[in-house]
């Protein structure tokens, strides 16, 4: 049994020590109460913040009368442990479940909340649960339904793993089932039926020939993708099948709405039955906002488009531009050997501190 480290002032003052302390609190999705209790206690002890809680979501806010408000958000849950708990350190690498995705990022946000007493922006810090599971359980989704005022601001940063790069906006995602229909028959008399699996060949041909669109928005490149991810069909080895289902995932650039994305899929699969099973909009970069420009000036790196979906989409849906920035490497997320580079934690914390304490440009 791992003893949970108390989030003492000494630990809170060091984002690396704080990362390790959070990693050593097991918080697989649905089991976040212990880590949420620890985070809430640390924020309450900081003194300069207004702290609220909804289930296993904690919101901490400054109310300094600044002309703009920014949001730093990070989820506290992880995927299931895979022989990678508790944390270990080897040189400049910290190993453990959640080190990359995204307790190192959440640790930076908590570190700043407890140590930056007079930022140049008013700041909302959000720590939430159930990001790694279905959308309706996601803590930010619950906040958007029950406490939408917590999400109000002019700009948001989600501390998802980006390996220290600025990944602006995000792609939208849509899953659909494309169905082909036939007529059942005995396989010995196949001419009396019509094989639905054979008809799936035309769906796959269209997918194989598909040319993915590439688009640049605010200098950030987004490449779309349309791919079959699962196929199912067949009744028995002696039956001509009357149904085949191809699951298709469409990752679309944020200049397409969900309605436009669906319209595009209907064009691609014209003549076939199509059912949407999951959909989430993308998020435009919004890098022209003053807070965003100030952050980019501090980072000094050219932003890139986020090739994937993240919770920045939830902010974009409310008209709040958002980007992704965190120390973890997204390619290591969910892996048994998940780890984070310790220097990336320190650099990320320093950059965000400089941004919060630098007067915003007008």
CB 145 within 8 A of CB 156: no
- Which residues, 6 or more positions from 216, have their beta carbon under 8 angstroms from its beta carbon? 222
Q: Is 247 a catalytic residue?
A: no
Q: Is 122 a catalytic residue?
A: no
Pairwise CA distance, residues 354 & 162, whole Å:
19
Pairwise CA distance, residues 25 & 332, whole Å:
20
- Which residues, 6 or more positions from 338, have their beta carbon under 8 angstroms from its beta carbon? 84, 95, 96, 97, 98, 99, 100, 101, 332
Pairwise CA distance, residues 99 & 97, whole Å:
6
Question: Residues 77, 129, 132, 341: which is the catalytic one?
Answer: 77
CA–centroid distance for 12 within its chain: 25
Pairwise CA distance, residues 271 & 5, whole Å:
60
Question: Residues 122, 131, 132, 341: which is the catalytic one?
Answer: 131
> Where is 346: in which H helix or E strand?
helix 342-356
Catalytic residue annotation: 77, 131
């Amino acid at each position: 049994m791992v003893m949970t480290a108390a989030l003492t002032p000494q630990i809170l003052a060091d984002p690396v020590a704080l990362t390790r302390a959070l990693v050593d609190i097991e918080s697989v999705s649905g089991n976040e109460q212990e880590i949420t209790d620890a985070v809430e206690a640390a924020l309450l002890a900081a003194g300069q913040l207004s702290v609220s809680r909804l289930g296993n979501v904690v919101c901490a806010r400054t109310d300094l009368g600044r002309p703009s408000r920014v949001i730093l958000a990070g989820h506290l849950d992880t995927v299931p442990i895979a022989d990678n708990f508790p944390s270990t350190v080897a040189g400049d690498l910290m190993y453990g479940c959640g080190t990359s995705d995204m307790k190192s990022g959440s640790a930076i946000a908590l570190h700043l909340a407890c140590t930056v007493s007079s930022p140049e922006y008013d700041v909302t810090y959000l720590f939430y649960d159930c990001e790694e599971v279905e959308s309706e359980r996601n803590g930010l989704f619950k906040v958007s339904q029950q406490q939408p005022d917590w999400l109000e601001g002019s700009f948001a940063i989600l501390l998802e793993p980006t390996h220290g790069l600025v990944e602006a906006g995000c792609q939208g995602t849509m899953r659909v089932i494309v169905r082909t229909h036939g007529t059942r028959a005995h396989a010995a008399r196949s001419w009396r039926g019509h094989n639905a699996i054979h008809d799936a060949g035309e769906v796959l041909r269209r997918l194989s020939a598909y040319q993915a669109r590439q688009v640049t928005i605010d200098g950030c490149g987004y490449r779309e993708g349309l791919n079959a991810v699962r196929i199912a069909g067949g009744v028995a080895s002696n039956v001509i099948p009357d149904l085949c289902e191809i699951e298709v995932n469409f990752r679309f650039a944020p200049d397409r709405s969900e309605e436009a994305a669906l319209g595009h899929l209907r064009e691609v699969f014209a003549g076939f039955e199509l059912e949407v099973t999951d959909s989430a909009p993308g998020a435009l970069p919004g890098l022209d906002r003053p807070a965003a420009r100030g952050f980019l000036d501090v980072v000094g790196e050219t932003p890139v488009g986020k090739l994937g979906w993240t919770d920045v989409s939830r902010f974009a849906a409310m008209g709040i531009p958002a980007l992704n920035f965190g120390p973890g490497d997204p390619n290591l997320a969910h892996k048994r050997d998940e780890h984070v580079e310790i220097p990336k934690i320190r650099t990320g914390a320093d950059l965000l501190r400089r941004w919060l304490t630098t007067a915003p440009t007008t």
